[in-house]
């Protein structure tokens, strides 16, 4: 009895140390996994001739669904990019989500659109579709524009799913710029499937701020000039090249970014489509389709590929970043709450035993505990009870370990895709890695706390992302 | 939504450890932890709460107490912290140096490659297309390709060149490849213990039509490594004169759509001989049957009609689905009554495939069946396909559709379906 008490006391007393060891071990393991899977991916795909997919009759049919709300400034260029993707058997469905600007008029004029007698079924509920438009000009035969009553991004994606008839659907943000070969790279995992059905695939999202863009294509890649977007470059590189790559390898991937993801259309429809009552519809969908497949007892896979496939503009002001992060926090909370049944539930395999607990503890709870820890730290500091030398030692430990992880991700980027060609850009990234924990991270943590408060006080808005528009850059 | 990165977790831990630092400071006996001793002497606010220390010291003898004692007396924790800091700083510096050196190396290699490529191209063109003076060019090639790096560039260059060549010139390229002993490099790669080198070796041998490593390639036909397996299949198809598709007979592993696509592309691009694919309809490997069906459709092997229709009764749904589609692709009009019979007992996807076949093979004899589908089915896609099939029969079908449009059905809005089908702007 005494032994048990002593062990429990030991655990309680040193829980922090244990958590530290767990956290660092987790990150080291994730880094190793991502390194291994990156190496395998690059070797495997260095021999691939993606062009074989373009002309093959065996390639699956695709529908690219792009919801658009008040995207008048960028919509024409973005549709042009979507229509010029390398793939043969695909269509582009742009869903005008009741825009208040002249998006629809611009599309009608530029692409010579007319309302057609399109018959479809509301297999997934969505707001009323006012009309489906096709072009008189056969050069734009791949384009379908759906005009509907405003219902949000998820509702627009559902409308697109209802109109689509192809095997696979690609959900994208209308304001993102896809790499021309993005579809070829995303479709490959679906074609490689053998004993497991591939139900979803995602790729790396890159940051387009300060890049040279013309005609809906990235012409020259630059690192963002401002610190805030540059810190996000660091964050995205780490998250995509290290975190998601490793989670894909571990079969615990819970999120395919809403900016670009490919899904099996029938699976998405059977699972009920996108949920419209959450602001984190991208994560919620992935968790739900995984859960759906597990409940059916069908072997499945959600695949992540490290190729940079899509470019997007990220917030460059604190105000907009705060809105975005608040939304992400609320989305995570809603998804974790909706699917709480998964927590440590063996029936759902790695999803329940690994993916869900990780997200709960490391992604959702961490900022909250961290915030409380900081409050406690302030209290100790004010009351003079703090052991400053020990604090400084720990600060150094955390800071340098964190920066070294970031430098690892820069290294991964360097030996894999090497998108920033200028040496100056790499040095800037290194400096950003050194500054990020001091300035950017505390800010993002507070934004996450705000997200929790917003959810608590039911301030459940999407938040407007004010973009400069690619056409101007 | 995005992963917020490791900092959240890291700083969380920092804050939490800091919270416990006051308590732990008391636990560490200063004389036992030299690092802390230094810290205490130089630091301020180091509290001296000895309660926990006393408690832990009083439990001598038990396992738990031993554990605690060991942890608390040991400076290991502090050492670990210093260790991680040192490791992190060293890692950062080393990685930074590697990144910068790697950039220089890449630039240098790129320049070197470009230079060699230009040289090789010039000499190769001279050698292959100039009838006169061949020997000096060859010597020059041997001289330049003296190390592995240069030889690999030469191999890649020759393969790139041979892709676009035919006949005598292609044979000449192959002869040069052998003469320069580059086949030894390729064979060495084929027998390497590293799979990615095997793949490269197989590719080079297949391109140059060198059969010296065929046994090794055959060994890899059922490899567990799917990339190696696929490359072995491709190489075998290219290197076998008789029955290049023989590997399909022995294939045990599932034949993924990607592998099927690659093989199909190979057959098309290199105009390889096309066998009657129906011979694999009775394969035990279902993915091989599906591939064979796809190829029957692609190469329009209409004489396989009877065998295709025998697959309509196959127990596997995916095979039936492909067989229904292939029936449409190769215009098996005689199979339509059979498909009609099967319709009600099939899954949604298979019913869709059956109707697509009716769209591809218009036959007015089956208008009643199509009309009944239109009437009974609730699914939009099935209704649209049935209507399209009716429309494709021309006069009789269109007349029937016009009649339906004029009629006022209580339970079905024919007009909206027919308008969709007749709208030429919907491709």
The CA–CA distances, whole Å, from B270 to A53, B266, B311 equal: 16, 6, 30
Residues listed for chain B: 427
Q: How far apart are CA B373 and CA A420, in angstroms?
A: 58
| Residue B18: per-residue pLDDT | 45
| Residue B132: per-residue pLDDT | 58
For A247-270, letters b (16+ CB in 10 Å) and e give bbbbbbbbbbbbbbbbbbbebbbe
pLDDT class of B80 with cuts at 50, 70, 90: confident
Q: How far apart are CA B401 and CA B422, in angstroms?
A: 10
Q: How far apart are CA A352 and CA A336, in angstroms?
A: 11
Q: What is the pLDDT of residues B264-312, one digit of tens each?
A: 988 888 788 889 999 999 999 999 999 999 999 999 999 999 999 999 9
DSSP letters spanning A93-139: EEEEES-SSSHHHHHHHHTTEEEE------SS--SPEEEEEEESSGG
Largest CA distance in chain B: 103
DSSP letters spanning A178-233: E-TTHHHHHHHHHHH-SSSEEEEEEEEEEE-TT-EEETTEEEE----SSHHHHHHH
Largest CA distance in chain A: 84
Closest chain B residue by Cα to residue A398: B10
| Residue B327: per-residue pLDDT | 96
Residue B223 three-state SS: coil
Q: Which residue has the higher pLDDT, B243 or B385?
A: B385
Residue A430: its chain B contacts at CB < 8 A?
96
A303: which strand partners?
Answer: A201
| Residue B35: per-residue pLDDT | 35
| Residue B122: per-residue pLDDT | 82
Residue among A49, A372, A389 whose CB faces B43 most closely: A389
Backbone angles phi, psi at A68, to 5 degrees: -135, 125
**Which bin fits A111, alpha (ψ -120 to 50), beta or left (φ > 0)?**
alpha
Q: Provide Rg for chain A, Cα atoms.
A: 23
Q: What is the pTM of this model?
A: 0.84
Shortest distance, CA B225 to any CA of chain A (angstroms):
10
| Residue A73: per-residue pLDDT | 86
Residue A264 three-state SS: strand
Shortest distance, CA A404 to any CA of chain B (angstroms):
5
Q: How far apart are CA B198 and CA B204, in angstroms?
A: 10
B16: nearest Cα among A86, A415, A19: A19
The reply to whether residue A377 touches residue B19, judged by beta carbons under 8 angstroms, is yes
Which residues, other chains included, contact B287 with Cβ-Cβ below 8 Å and sequence gap of 6+? B254, B255, B256, B260
Q: What percent of chain B has pLDDT over 70?
A: 79
The reply to whether residue A119 touches residue B64, judged by beta carbons under 8 angstroms, is no
CB A293 within 8 A of CB A347: no
If one counts every other C-beta atom within 10 angstroms of the C-beta of residue A161, the result is 23
Residue A373: its chain B contacts at CB < 8 A?
12, 14-16, 18-19
Q: Work out the mean pLDDT of chain B and round it to a whole number.
A: 80
Q: Provide Rg for chain B, Cα atoms.
A: 36
Residues B21-45 have a mean pLDDT of 37
| Residue A103: per-residue pLDDT | 94
Each residue's pLDDT expressed in tens, for chain A with a length of 473 residues: 667 767 766 665 566 566 666 777 888 888 888 888 888 888 888 878 888 898 888 899 999 999 999 989 889 988 998 999 999 999 999 999 999 999 999 999 999 999 998 988 899 999 999 999 999 998 999 999 999 999 999 999 999 999 999 999 999 987 788 999 999 999 999 999 988 999 999 999 999 999 998 877 888 999 999 999 999 999 999 988 888 888 888 888 899 999 999 999 999 999 999 999 998 999 999 999 999 999 999 999 999 999 889 999 999 999 999 999 999 999 999 999 999 999 999 999 999 999 999 899 888 888 888 888 788 888 888 988 888 888 888 889 889 988 999 999 999 998 888 888 888 999 999 999 999 999 999 999 999 999 999 888 877 665 555 555 554 44
Q: How far apart are CA A456 and CA B326, in angstroms?
A: 57
| Residue A12: per-residue pLDDT | 54
Give yes or no for B1 touching A (CB within 8 A): yes
B49-58, B115-124, B170-179, B250-259: segment of lowest average pLDDT: B49-58
| Residue A29: per-residue pLDDT | 87
CB contact residues (below 8 A), chain B span 276-305, against chain A = 294, 298
Give yes or no for A396 touching B (CB within 8 A): yes
A182-196, B14-28, B191-205, B226-240: segment of lowest average pLDDT: B14-28
A217: which strand partners?
Answer: A214
| Residue A17: per-residue pLDDT | 62
The reply to whether residue B5 touches residue A441, judged by beta carbons under 8 angstroms, is yes
Give yes or no for A410 touching B (CB within 8 A): yes
Which residues, other chains included, contact A249 with Cβ-Cβ below 8 Å and sequence gap of 6+? A33, A34, A36, A37
Judged against a pLDDT cut of 70, whether residue B175 lies above it is answered with: yes
Which residues, other chains included, contact B219 with Cβ-Cβ below 8 Å and sequence gap of 6+? B232
Residue among A20, A58, A257 whose CB faces B13 most closely: A20
| Residue B58: per-residue pLDDT | 41
Backbone angles phi, psi at B253, to 5 degrees: -80, 155
Side-chain half-sphere exposure of A392, counting CA atoms within 13 A: 10
């Amino acid at each position: 009895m005494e032994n048990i008490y002593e062990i429990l006391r030991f655990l309680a007393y040193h829980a922090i140390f244990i958590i530290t060891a767990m956290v660092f071990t987790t990150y080291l393991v994730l880094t190793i996994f991502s390194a291994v899977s990156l190496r395998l991916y690059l070797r495997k795909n260095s021999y691939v001739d993606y062009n074989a997919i373009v002309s093959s009759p065996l390639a699956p049919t695709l529908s690219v669904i792009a919801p658009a709300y008040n995207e008048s400034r960028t919509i024409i260029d973005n549709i042009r990019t979507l229509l010029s993707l390398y793939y043969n058997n695909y269509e582009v469905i742009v869903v005008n989500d009741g825009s208040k600007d002249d998006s629809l008029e611009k599309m009608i004029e530029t692409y010579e659109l007319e309302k057609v007698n399109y018959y479809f079924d509301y297999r997934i509920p969505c707001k009323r579709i006012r009309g489906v438009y096709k072009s008189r000009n056969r050069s734009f035969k791949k384009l379908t524009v759906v005009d509907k009553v405003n219902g949000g991004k998820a509702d627009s994606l559902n409308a697109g799913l209802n109109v689509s008839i192809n095997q696979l659907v690609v959900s994208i943000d209308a304001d993102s710029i896809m790499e021309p070969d993005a579809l070829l790279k995303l479709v490959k995992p679906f074609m490689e499937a053998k004993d497991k059905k591939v139900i979803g695939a995602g790729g790396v999202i890159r940051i387009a701020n300060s890049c040279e863009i013309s005609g809906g294509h990235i012409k020259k890649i630059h690192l963002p000039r401002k610190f805030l977007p540059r810190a996000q470059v660091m964050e995205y590189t780490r998250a995509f090249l290290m975190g998601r790559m490793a989670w894909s390898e571990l079969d615990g991937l819970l999120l395919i970014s809403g900016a670009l993801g490919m899904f099996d259309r029938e699976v998405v429809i059977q699972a009920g489509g996108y949920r419209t009552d959450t602001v984190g519809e991208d994560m919620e969908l992935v968790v739900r389709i995984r859960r759906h497949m597990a409940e059916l007892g069908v072997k499945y896979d959600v695949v992540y590929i490290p190729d940079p496939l899509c470019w997007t503009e990220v917030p460059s002001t604190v105000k907009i970043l705060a809105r975005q992060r608040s939304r992400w926090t609320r989305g995570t909370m809603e998804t974790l709450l909706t699917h709480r049944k998964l927590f440590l539930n063996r029936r759902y395999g790695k999803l329940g035993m690994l993916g869900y607990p990780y997200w709960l503890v490391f992604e959702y709870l961490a900022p909250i505990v961290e915030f409380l820890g900081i409050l406690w730290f302030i209290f100790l500091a004010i009351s003079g009870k703090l052991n400053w030398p020990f604090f400084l030692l720990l600060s150094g430990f955390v800071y340098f370990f964190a920066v070294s992880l970031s430098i690892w991700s820069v290294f991964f980027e360097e030996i894999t895709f090497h998108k920033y060609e200028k040496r100056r850009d790499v040095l800037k990234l290194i400096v950003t890695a050194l500054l990020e924990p001091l300035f950017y991270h505390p800010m993002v943590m507070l934004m996450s706390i705000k997200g929790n408060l917003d959810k608590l006080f039911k301030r459940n808005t999407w938040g407007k992302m004010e973009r400069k528009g690619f056409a101007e850059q | 939504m995005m992963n917020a990165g490791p900092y959240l977790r890291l700083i969380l831990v920092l804050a939490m450890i800091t919270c416990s630092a006051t308590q732990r400071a008391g636990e560490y006996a200063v004389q036992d932890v030299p690092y802390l001793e230094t810290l205490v002497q130089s630091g301020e606010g180091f509290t001296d709460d000895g309660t926990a220390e006393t408690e832990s010291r009083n439990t001598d003898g038990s396992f738990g107490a031993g554990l605690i004692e060991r942890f608390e007396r040991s400076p290991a924790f502090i050492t670990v912290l210093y260790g991680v800091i040192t490791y992190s700083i060293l890692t950062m510096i080393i990685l930074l140096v590697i990144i910068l050196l790697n950039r220089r190396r890449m630039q240098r290699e790129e320049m070197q490659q470009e230079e060699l490529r230009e040289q090789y191209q010039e000499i190769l063109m001279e050698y292959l297309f100039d009838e006169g003076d061949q020997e000096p060019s060859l010597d020059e090639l041997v001289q330049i390709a003296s190390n592995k790096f240069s030889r690999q560039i030469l191999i890649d260059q020759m393969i790139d060149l041979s892709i676009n060549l035919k006949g005598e010139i292609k044979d000449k390229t192959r002869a040069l490849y052998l003469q320069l002993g580059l086949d030894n490099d390729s064979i060495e790669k084929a027998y390497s213990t590293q799979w990615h080198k095997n793949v490269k070796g197989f590719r080079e041998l297949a391109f140059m039509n060198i059969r010296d490593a065929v046994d090794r390639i055959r060994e890899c036909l059922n490899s567990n490594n799917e990339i190696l397996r696929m490359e072995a299949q491709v190489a075998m198809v290219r290197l076998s004169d008789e029955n290049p598709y023989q590997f399909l007979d022995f294939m045990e592993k599932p034949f993924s759509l990607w592998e099927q696509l690659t093989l199909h592309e190979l057959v098309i691009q290199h105009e390889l001989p096309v066998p009657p694919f129906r011979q694999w309809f009775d394969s035990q490997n279902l993915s091989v049957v599906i591939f064979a069906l796809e190829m029957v459709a692609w190469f329009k092997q209409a004489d396989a009609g009877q065998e295709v229709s025998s697959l309509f009764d196959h127990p596997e749904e995916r095979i039936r689905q492909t067989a229904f589609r292939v029936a449409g692709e190769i215009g098996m009009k005689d199979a339509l009554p059979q498909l009609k019979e099967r319709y009600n007992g099939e899954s949604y996807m298979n019913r869709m495939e059956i109707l697509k076949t009716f769209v591809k093979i218009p036959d007015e004899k089956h208008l009643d069946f199509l009309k009944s589908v239109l009437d009974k089915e609730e699914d939009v896609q099935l209704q649209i396909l049935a209507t399209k099939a009716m429309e494709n029969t021309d006069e009789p079908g269109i007349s029937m559709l016009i009649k339906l449009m004029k009629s006022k059905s209580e339970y079905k809005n024919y007009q909206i379906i027919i308008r969709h089908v007749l709208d030429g702007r919907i491709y």
